[in-house]
Amino acid sequence: MVKRRLKEHVIDREWCKGCGICVHFCPRHVLELDEQEKAFAARPQDCICCLLCELRCPDLAIEVITEELQTESATKEQTE
């Protein structure tokens, strides 16, 4: 499997209803709910890009943008 590196967590604050599923199940405790009960990446540096938060978000509000840990051209292709 190709290794991937996080670019960013894109979280749609309009769509997020603050259920906390992503926070609860994140294996590295990357995510938290803010004072408005919206998810945000508090510790993005710890993200291992498992994508479970994205897959389990019932609001379809999270998108984990990643890039391949490879040559530059391959990285470009993947993110396009």
**Residues of the shown chain interacting with another protein in the complex, contacts defined by CB under 8 A:** 12, 14-21, 24-25, 52, 55-61, 63
Q: How far is the CB of 26 from another protein (least distance, A)?
A: 11
Looking at the Cβ atoms of 21 and 49, the one nearer to another protein is 21
Report d(CA 80, CA 68) in Å as an integer: 12
CB of 35 to another protein, least distance (A): 16
**Assigned token pair, 22:** 């992503």
* Shortest Cβ 75–another protein spacing (Å): 18
In the bound state with another protein, the residue whose beta carbon lies nearer, of 35 and 71, is 35
Cα dihedral value 79, 7, 10, 59, nearest 10: 80
